[in-house]
Amino acid sequence: METKLIRIAIWSAVVVLLLSLFWLPALWLFVLLIPIVAVGYYDYNQTRHSILRNFPVVGHGRWIMERIRPFVRQYFFESETDGTPITRMFRSLIYQRAKGSLDSNPYGTKIDTQRVGYEWIGHSMAAKHHDSKRPAPRITVGGPDCLQPYEASFFNISAMSFGALSDNAIRALNKGAAIGGFYHNTGEGSVSDYHLENGGDIVWQIGTGYFGCRDKDGNFAPEAFQKIAQKDVIKMIEIKLSQGAKPGHGGLLPADKNTDEIARIRLVEPGTQVDSPPSHSAFDTPIEMMQFVKQLRELSGGKPVGFKLCIGRASEFVAVCKAMVETGIKPDFITVDGGEGGTGAAPLEFSNSVGMPLREALSFVCDILVGFDLKKDIRVIASGKTFSGFHLVKNLALGADMCNSARGMMVALGCVQSLECNTNKCPTGIATQDPKLARGLVVPDKAERVARYHKATVNSALEIIASAGLRNTEDLNRSHIFRRVSQTEVRRFDEIYQSPTPGSFFDDEKPSKFAQALKEASPDSFFPKHYLAETDEGLKEVS
């Protein structure tokens, strides 16, 4: 190969010299030839890449093609139903609604209605007329112990931190929330100046790092929390236990990203690496967690306090509900994040293989709350790949009171799904801290887009509800949604996700499908004291 490389270099030089005899400017070709020869020599002698050693220079084509592959696929070969994590069909829908352009669909569905998993709502011959000028219904969040209940939209902005998103992205989202009358969740990066600038309603998320409400050792600081929580613009407080994209996985803020501004907002030392542990230090048991909920509610002046989680081991959520019953302390809301939830960066295995998907998690949480007769006082919020009116309707039918969307709102801002969120090179200026890229996001324009997308999607959900002969979101139930479970069988959601009778977990005869979780769970421990497994002889203790 080395001899061949030398021969090619020599013959190329000879050809250029011969050309120069007839056309002198041909000597300029050496400007290209010399660097190519140098690269070839380096490729041949380097030891990191076998392809470059065997195919100097031309081997770089592999990396070039690998780099442009996602863009070629997205813009030239992707069908309407392809594309992950968001299909082109839904990206187009969000863009159309955000821009206020035509969002109708020509020539019928592009979805295979015979595929297993296809879902639809059963419409009524007594369908109602939906007046889009009527105010959309609001959902009251606040249980018996809440002194400042909040009237929320049933579609809102999910948790995304400043630091993960640019300052202009945060400004635009919050301004859009202010225009449209819905809330904006801060994410665990705390309340930044950009969240407060435009006066949109805020849900302050408190993560395991207690950013914005921590002492120098990273422990929860009540005084720092109270100072922010009592601001009028903060409407609710959310304790983040886990998120769908990486449940049970802590976070890390690298020292080079920990700028003076981010350090000031998060109450950390600038220029240092800051770790977010996988679990909270403010409580160790479900009972202590309920006491923490009570503490935050009191410190905030009686505002709604809830928690967000991705369901893992079922008995752990049952343990939390048992703690609610034992202490009499209830959260005002619970946000259920599906295992398909998104994030700027997560290990592949956690994104793909950790955490219960939203449909199963949402139905499970609602059923457990119903079984303990807690659902009447606790609002449930669904989060995870919610982009359209029908997505909202499905979640509401399963038992959710409201829905959050993160990636849907990002696409409304102009996200092109370039999948560069973890590189600080987001081309649309959304998921980056590079001021040159963030400058491209014009706040007033994008805020209007977010507000239009929200309004059109809420209106679409209400139109679908009206088609079923219903008036309000609370009228939906599991009997309204159908799913194809095989080529020849269709079942309703109430047949797939069978609900317990309210309060039935206090009876001697408990529903069998929850027996394992109910027996394992204890209000004074997140972990089961004894693990149970199904055997030929029924549920038995296992080591």
SS (HEC) of 182-199: CCEECCCCCCCHHHHCCC
Same domain for 341 and 395? yes
Backbone φ/ψ region at 301: left (φ over 0), alpha (ψ -120 to 50), beta: left
DSSP string, 432-445: ---HHHHTTS-HHH
Domain finish residue from 29, 56, 77: 77
Same domain for 442 and 516? no
Q: Three-state SS for 235?
A: strand
Same domain for 255 and 353? yes
Per the structure, the count of domains in the chain is 3
Domain finish residue from 59, 77, 95: 77
179: in domain: yes
CATH number at residue 376: 3.20.20.70
Domain finish residue from 77, 111, 126: 77
119: in domain: no
Backbone φ/ψ region at 157: left (φ over 0), alpha (ψ -120 to 50), beta: beta
Task: Collect all residues with Cβ–Cβ distance below 8 Å to 209 and sequence separation of at least 6.
Answer: 188, 218, 251, 266, 274, 275, 276, 277
165: in domain: yes
Give 389-393's long-range contacts (Cβ < 8 A, gap of 24+): 389/457, 389/458, 389/459, 389/460, 389/461, 389/462, 389/463, 389/464, 390/121, 390/460, 390/461, 390/464, 392/154, 392/155, 392/457, 392/458, 392/461, 393/121, 393/461, 393/464, 393/465, 393/476, 393/481
Same domain for 461 and 513? no
475: in domain: no
Q: Three-state SS for 213?
A: coil
CB-based contact 249:346 (threshold 8 Å)? yes
326: in domain: yes
10 Å CB burial of residue 508 (0-12, 13-18, 19+) is exposed
Same domain for 444 and 523? no
Structure tokens at 138: 């609001």
pLDDT tens digits, residue range 63-91? 787 777 767 667 666 777 777 788 888 89
121: in domain: no
- Model pTM score: 0.89
Same domain for 455 and 517? no
93: in domain: no
Same domain for 345 and 202? yes
Same domain for 160 and 49? no
**Per-residue pLDDT in tens (0 to 9) along the chain, 543 residues:** 667 777 788 888 888 888 888 888 888 888 888 888 888 888 888 888 888 888 888 888 887 877 777 676 676 667 777 777 888 888 999 999 999 998 877 777 888 899 999 999 999 999 999 988 889 999 999 999 999 999 999 999 999 999 889 999 999 999 999 999 999 999 999 999 999 999 999 999 999 999 999 999 999 999 999 999 999 999 999 999 998 777 777 777 777 778 889 899 999 998 888 878 889 999 999 999 999 999 999 999 999 999 999 999 999 999 999 999 999 999 999 999 988 777 766 777 777 778 889 999 999 999 999 999 999 999 999 998 899 999 999 999 999 999 999 999 999 999 988 888 877 888 899 998 889 999 999 999 999 999 999 999 999 999 999 999 999 999 999 999 999 999 999 999 999 999 999 999 998 888 888 999 999 999 999 988 778 787 777 777 876
pLDDT for the residue 347: 75
Same domain for 294 and 400? yes
Domain range enclosing 39? 1-77
Same domain for 316 and 277? yes
Same domain for 376 and 506? no
Q: What is the DSSP letter of 542?
A: E
Same domain for 505 and 460? no
